[in-house]
Amino acid sequence: MLTRRTFLFTAAVPISAAPSLTSRERVNRVLEGKEPDRQPFSYWYHFGLEKYPGERHAKATLDFHRRLRTDVVKVMSDYPYPKSAGKWYELREQQDPFPEQIRALELIRDGLAGRAHFVETIFNPWNQATKISSKDAVLELKRQNPQRLLDTLEIIAKSEANHARRAVQAGASGIFLAIDNAHEGSLSREDYARFSEPFDKMILEAVKTAPLNILHIHGDRIYLDRFYRGWLAATINYSVHGSGISFEEARRHYTGVLMGGIDEVHFRKLTEDQMKAQWMTAQKAAGPKYILAPGCSVPNDTTDEELLRLTRAVGA
């Protein structure tokens, strides 16, 4: 059985042999627009532990961070949203929709002992609706009864806002809000503005004072310009290589922290030199407000040796 003492011991290995800054301090400097001692970085993939208790999820997260020395601990969140006993859209607001995830966050907090920021992943209400039912079912409800869909998405948003508050109370530095429908091929700009944006912002509003809220804009033909202003997040993460939108272009319009630059799709094949080249290109465009990362999760079968290429590249 995993205890608090076990978790603290598990995470006791220092992030580097003789760091001048902790991971938290390093990221804080970036948030302030100051030069860090070295480039802060992160990467992540899905552990596939949604059928197991929060203790196992927390241990996997802490082990990943310890082995690979990431500066931002992006906590995966694959536990399913509670389904209705009736029709999929007949939902009620949940005060604690992901209790095992909260348990994991508490253990991650204890294991990190304040040395690194950790952020809780939240998939936006549209995404959760498609998981509860299906993409086709959500689109069908949108056509037949758009107000019912709006009401359902609001209930999910309120529940996820409750979870976001619990996550921050458990020690998370913010949320990693994954938005996967703000792109061509999912919703039009007008439909995203009506059926998703208000609910996505509702979740961020619940934790607006958190220091490290991150917007993850998923997809290739993304509406990135919608997210430059008016969102209660310190950071935007997106795929430079998938979207074709350079950090140079993003920086012309966005003053917050940019996170990304590494090709997540071909991550496993990238050499250390290729990773350094992608990093240098992104950093030059982004400036000091920059966290090195892939544009999304790397393949789930990526090996530690393949991940460590990026760790070595930044000198971690």
Q: What is the pLDDT of residues 57-84, one digit of tens each?
A: 999 999 999 999 999 999 999 999 999 9
Residue 187: how many other CB atoms lie within 10 Å: 20
The whole-model pTM stands at 0.93
Torsion angles phi and psi, residue 260, rounded to 5? 150, -145
pLDDT of residue 295: 98
DSSP class of residue 41 equals B
- 223-252: average pLDDT: 98
Residue 205: how many other CB atoms lie within 10 Å: 12
What is the average pLDDT score of the chain?
94
Sheet strands side by side (includes 72-75) = 72-75, 117-123, 174-179, 214-217, 235-238, 257-262, 290-294
Report the range of poorest mean pLDDT among 8-22, 126-140, 181-195, 284-298: 8-22
Percentage of the residues of the chain whose pLDDT score is greater than 90:
93
Delimit the domains of the chain by residue range. 25-313
Each residue of 177-209: pLDDT tens digit? 999 999 999 999 999 999 999 999 999 999 999
Sign of the alpha-carbon dihedral angle for 290, 294, 296, 300: negative
What six digits make up the tokens of 71?
Answer: 């500066």
CB 119 within 8 A of CB 212: yes
Binned at pLDDT 50, 70 and 90, residue 20 comes out as confident
Binned at pLDDT 50, 70 and 90, residue 19 comes out as low
Chosen CATH of 25-313 out of 3.30.420.10, 3.20.20.210, 3.20.20.70, 3.20.20.220: 3.20.20.210
Each residue of 259-289: pLDDT tens digit? 999 999 999 999 999 999 999 999 999 999 9
Distance CA 267, CA 299 (A): 8
